[in-house]
Every structure is written in structure tokens, then in C-alpha cells.
A and B are shown apart, each in its own frame.
Chain A
Amino acid sequence: MIPEIGQFALILALCLAVAQGVLPLVGAARGQERLMRSGTFLATGQFVFLAISYAALTWAFVTSDFSVQYVTQNSSLALPMQYKVTAVWGGHEGSLLLWVLILAAWGVAVAAFSKALPREMLARVLAVLGLVSVGFIAFTVFTSNPFERMIPMPADGTDLNPLLQDPGMIAHPPLLYMGYVGFAVVFAFAIAALIGGRLDAAWARWSRPWTTVAWVFLTLGIGMGSWWAYYELGWGGWWFWDPVENASFMPWLTGTALIHSLAVTEKRGGFKTWTLMLAILTFALTILGAFLVRSGVITSVHAFATDPERGVFILGMLAVTLLASFALYAIRAPKVGLGGGFGWYSRESLLLANNALLAVACAAVMIGTLYPLVLDTFSMSKISVGPPYFDAVFTPLMLPLLFLIGIGPTVAWKQSDPVQTYRQLRYVLVVSVLLGAVWPLAMGAWSPLTALALMLGIWIILTAALDMRNRMARRKGRGGAAMVRGVMQPSYLGMHMAHVGLALVVIAIAMVTTYEVERDARMAPGEAVSVGGYQFTMLNVGPVEGANYDADRANIVVTRNGREVAMLTPEKRRYFSQPEMPMIQASLNRGPFRDLYVSLGEPLDEHAWIVRLYYKPFMFWMWTGCILMALGGFLAASDRRYRLKARESSGTSQRVDTAAGKAAGEVG
């Protein structure tokens, strides 16, 4: 009964989404207030029914209702309760339900936080979100119904994929979907602006916080996925350039570009059409990601059980989205002004370079991801494109970008002077180069790429610090409080935090790829191995029993200079659902400057086991960097000026726009 309620609620939500996609749009076109206002009501209703539907599926999991096919395929009686709850999104159908639920939640958030928006604008934004919802809910209902019954009902389920039975998986998909779906909001703002023909600075200011928040979630989602892969897949890898990872990384790259391009659009009225294009493309890339993961067109570790029919549906959705948006774009964009002029060396020109590099980087990832498919389609040959390719192509595109991060924030809008920048940053440049060159020597092995990456990481951190110091110095006359306020301004501080976060990630990547120590060993109880200055001593290996698996667990004590550092307990698990595929459960000791990482391989004889030991320097910095990036984004999005100006924006947008136009003419 409960699953039927869920199904019914899902269909009702679809109906409401259709209404939400149509009525406010009609209202905005005809100037009918009541129809426009219906958007808020419909978005809330849609959310409520999706929540009911989601709750019904969760209930089916919690009560182990194996008459529901999806529950059978992703749960079992023995599955621990917390994983029953998260198993709801462990497969294709349920994850799609989570997706539409989050989409509806964003819709409600937009309705709640955008009271200051002009009515027509809000109506159009909600309508576009409604149309996106229609696509995804219809996809769920017609191709991927999670409530499908199964008769006869099996006695037990086939269990959740053991890889997903992990705390990291509890947070990863919701965060990632929050990010993906957040860009639907950004897209909706862009389309609403295109429909209304109002592509002014106010539109950019409204879009900015939403873009940043979506980006924050996507950053956290990707970071969490990487963190999960790192300890769960067993061999210490944290990024594989797998098609599914790339599917989330591509919108991250264009989303990052969008954040920077929006800054120009808001402050200077420039790059409007490009900003629009990025907003559309980023959203399209999130759908493309869904396609790659769910259609089976690409071979990947993470892909869902797939079905070409679903691929056709998503492709249709993508086609409609893109054709409609670009047709609208092609009609409206030529009428949009170019904004203010600027010199070849200015904040604008550097942000333009940033965007060019990010766009090319995204294109490179896309080429690498889709190229095997292209060759396959034309039956030319069957190739693999893996990490060696992406490392070779992606790295040279990122290095100049990292260098620009250090310069960008110190350069003035409109017109600046490179000589002045040089004077300002020369000591930092020298210090960065020296530190970057010496650090690898201190680590024991020098390579040019490592040194360069470290230089750039240090460069970003030092230039951020210097810029904050200079900003304070400029306000010296106005007293200490003003100095602190200047630096503590959320959007400014957030920017530097995000940049420093990226620097930490870069340093971590350079460190761990260069100085990681990997050691394969045969260990019997009492035997010891030394890795990275630590002694690993195997105490014993014994059986342990989990709720839905049994395992062998090794107890390995780690000492340094005779002092115990940690007790590591790697396991090799056999889940009852797939006993023929043992799972590696690595054990880690994390520290600020190194992780110690141990995986248990196969038994060699009665006593000895294969053990793989890693010393992984600076991994902590990678996760810290991701969190800093996200915090920086949150801080920037929370800046009061978005809220204050939004309230008065309906009246002032015209003025802002002409002001930008005037500013453009001032030089010369």
C-alpha cells in the first residue's frame, strides 16, 4: 500500500510540475498576477508530494518490503539500518528520486529567498525549474519507476552493493546532486532573463549567490567522492579520470568559469552573452553527466545498471533543453550589449583568460571522455583513454591558471599596469620560487614538475596574504575596525579562502604523487616492515563477523622510534551477497602531514598474508583544501550586498546598467 502511495504522490508531483512549468510563464507573458504567483504554491506542492514519495520508498527499505523490485535489488534483511536508509539512493531509480526531490527543494528555496525579485522574473525562474522537473520526474515515472512491484515476492533481497555500504556514501550522492541540481537554478535564471530580455547587472547579481552555492555543493560532492574512493576502493587512489568522475568534473570546471564570468557581468556589465552561454552549458553538462552514468554508453566502475532506453530519454531531454535554450540564445543574445571596455591588462582581461583556460580544460576532459566513443561509433578502433592522457593534457592547461590566480585579485578593474603588479608581487614571486625549489630538495627528490606545482601553490597562498595585508594598509587612516572590516568582507575573504583551498589541493597532489611510498609485503604474525620511517608489525590475522559479511582482519601495530603510533586493522570482507568477490577494507591512520594506509591482500599460506602498505604525504591537505574552497564559496554567497541590493534591485537595475555604460566611456 505504502509504495502505491509513493507512486501516486510521484505522479501528482509530475502534474504539479507541468502546471508549474506552464502557468507562471503564461502569467508573466500576459501580466496576470495570480498566475505568476501560482509558481510559489506549485513549487511547494511539488516538493511536498516528492517528499511523500521519497518517504514511501524509504519506508519500503526500512521495512524490507521485497515486493518492491528496487528494494530487492538494493537491500537485504541483514543490511544494517543506516545503510537501508541510504540504500534508497544506492541504485538508479532511487537516486533519480533523490535527484528530483532535491530539484524541488531548490525550487522552494528560490521561491522563499527571492521575494525581492520582480514578479515576472520569479515567475519565469520557477516555470523553467518546473519544466526541468517535468523532464526528470517523467524520466523517473516512465523509465525508472522505483516502486515497481515484483511478484512473487522474494524472501530476501540481493543486498546493497558492498562498495556503497560505507559512511562516505551517505553524504556523497546528496551533496553531488545538490550541486548538479543547483546549476538548474542558475540555468533557470539565465533562461528567465533571456525570455524577459532583461540581461542586466541585476540579473547577474541575483544569479551569483545561487551559482556559488551550487558550486560549493558540487565541490563538496566531488571532494567527498574522491575521499570515499581513496579509502574504500582499497588501493589508495583518489582520482581515476573515470568517465563518471569526469562527468562531475566538467560542470565543475564550467561552473568555476561561470562564477568568475558572473563577477565581470555584475561589476562591469561585460561578458553577458558568454555568462549566459556558460550557465546553459553547465546545466547541459550536468544532464550529459546523467547520460554518461545512466545510459551504459561508457564503461566505468561507477556506472549504474544501464539500459539504452533510458539513454534515449535523457538524450531527448538534453536535446530539448539545448535546442530551446540556444534558439532563445541565438534570438536574444545579439541584442545584448557588450558592457564596458577595458585594457589588455585589467581584472577583466585576466578573468577572460581564466575563463578561456577553464573552458579549454573542460573541453579537454570532454574530448578524452568521449573520444573512445567516437572511434567506437565509427568502428575505427577501440581505445582507452586513461590517467596518462589526462595528466599529460590537463596539467599544462592548469599551470598558467594557477599562476593567474595569484595575480588576478591584485589587479584593478578596467585598466591596470603590469609594472605595478610586478613591483607589488616581486618579493612574493622570489620567495615562492625559492621555497618551491627548495621544498622538494628537503623531501629528498627533486623534479621540475613537483617544484613548479609547489611554487604555484605557495605563490597563491602568499599573494592572497599579501593582498589582504595591502587591503588593510589602504584603510589605515580609517582606524583598526575599518581595516578588519575590509578584510573580513565575506565575498572578499571567501574568494581568497577558495583560492588558498585550491593551492592546498595542488600542493597535496604534488606531494602525494611524488613522495608516496608503496610497499608490497608478505607478512606473517610477528613480522615487521618499515615504510616511510614507520615500523609496521603484524600481530595476527583473525576472523571477524559483520552484519552481512564475514571477514579476515589483520592487527598491525605501527611504531616510530619504538613508540606506538597506531593500530591498523585492514580487513578482507566477503559479503554474503557476493562471496566470490572479496572486498578490501583498508585501514588508515591520518595525520596532518601523512596518512599511513594498509590494505590486506590474499593469504599466501597458513600464516602469511599479502599486505600492501602506503605512506601518503599531505593527503590531509587535499581534503582541507576542498573544505576551504567550499567554505570560501559559502562565505562569498552569504555576502550581505546580494541581499541588500536584491531588495532594491527592481528599481535600480536600469541605473546600474547605465552606470556601467558610463564607466565604459570614461577612459579615453
Chain B
Amino acid sequence: MRRGRSVGFVVTVALVLGLWGAADLTGSASAGRIPVGMPLEFETDEQEEQYRRLVRELRCTVCQNQALDESNAGLAADLRGQIYEMTLDGAEREEIVDFMVARYGDFVLYRPPFRTDTLMLWIGPFLLLLAGILVWLQVIRQRQQMAQSRELSPEERAALERMERDE
């Protein structure tokens, strides 16, 4: 028990120190790095809009669950720099997204792609909504009939309810 806990702790520390925390210390040397909140110049409003949307919709892969926009991790700063440069070079949104996915996988996308294996993710809730509507209609029809029928004796009611349940 105890060992499990301390191993977890060590791994966490290793993650923090080894993988990205320390990257911050050396980070200031690199030019492509954009710290959080760094003011940026864009040629057009569209470019700025595209950049701001991308850094919000792309995930910082080393962080637990943070968008690039808000992460202080060294890698996040590098990737912001990459997106910024590509945007200034005139890359379209899709191009940049493809670039990131090709290197880091679908995991970087906070908006999961629409594919066969994510089909249920995207349409599942709406299928359930449809099911909800059908159940609503079904219950309403049943209760409407109950409301319209004359008053039944307790035995009749019990029998009716049994029948309804068994159908």
C-alpha cells in the first residue's frame, strides 16, 4: 500500500522536475518560445483570431489537463511559438492542426475528430435525446389513456398496471 503511494509520488515528482518543470529554467534561451500572456503582433485580425482559437483548442500534452493557452510548461511555450510562426507564415487552421496531430496524435485536440471510433461520442448524446423524446411520448400516451378512462375499481387498476408492465 505504502509503496504504491510513494512510487506514485516519485513518479509525479519526476514528471514535474524531469519532464517539464525544468524546461522552464533553460527556456529563456530559445527564440520560438512564447510565455503565457506575451503580447503578439499579427498582420491581420483573422490571424489573431486563428491563433487565439488554436491555443485554446489544443491541449498541452505534458500537462494534466490544460490548453496551450494557459500552460506555463516549456513545451506549451514552444508550441505556442510554433503556432504563431505558422500563422504568420500564412498557414490555415487545418494545416496547423494537422501538423500538431501528425506529431503528437489526436490527443492534442480538445475537439475530438469525427470518425468511426468517435461516432458514438458525437452522436450518442443526440441519440439519447431522441430516445428521451420517444420515452416521453410513450409515457404521455399511457398516462393520457389512464386519465381518460373512467375510474376503475382497485382490482381493475391493479390488473391494468400488470398488463402495462408486461407488454
Residues of chain A at the chain B interface (Cβ within 8 Å): 73, 143, 148, 233-235, 237, 240, 242-243, 270, 296, 299-301, 303, 305-309, 334, 337-338, 340-344, 348-349, 352-353, 356-357, 359-360, 363-364, 367-368, 371, 375, 380-389, 392-393, 397, 414-415, 520-522, 578, 580-582, 599, 601-602, 610-612, 661-662, 664-668
Contacts and interface: CB of A to CB of B under 8 A. Distances in A.
Interface residues of B, number: 72
Contacts of B8: 296, 305-307
A549 to B, nearest CB: 16
B136 A580 contact: no
B57 A385 contact: no
15 contacts: A235-B70, A301-B66, A307-B8, A349-B136, A349-B143, A364-B125, A367-B125, A383-B109, A383-B112, A520-B39, A522-B38, A580-B17, A581-B21, A610-B38, A611-B37
Contacts of A667: 147-148
Nearest to B17: A580
A233 B67 CA distance: 13
Contacts, number: 196
Question: By CB atoms of chain A within 10 A, which of B35, B125, B165 has the most?
Answer: B125
Closest 4 CB pairs between A and B? A386-B110, A341-B146, A341-B147, A665-B151
A393 B148 contact: no
A445 B47 CA distance: 20
A253 to B, nearest CB: 13
Contacts of A382: 105-107
Contacts of B106: 381-384
B117 interface: yes
B1 interface: yes
Contacts of B57: 386, 388
B151 A521 contact: no
Contacts of B151: 662, 665-666, 668
A668 B17 CA distance: 74
Interface string B126-160: 10110111011001101111111111101001000
B70 A367 contact: no
Contact of A360 (B4, B17, B132): B132
A304 to B, nearest CB: 10
A334 B39 contact: no
B103 interface: no
B72 to A, nearest CB: 7
B107 A384 contact: yes
B91 interface: no
B112 A384 contact: yes
B65 A341 contact: no
B125 A348 contact: no
Nearest to A305: B8
A665 B148 contact: no
Given A338-B161, A360-B125, A610-B37, A343 B147 contact: yes
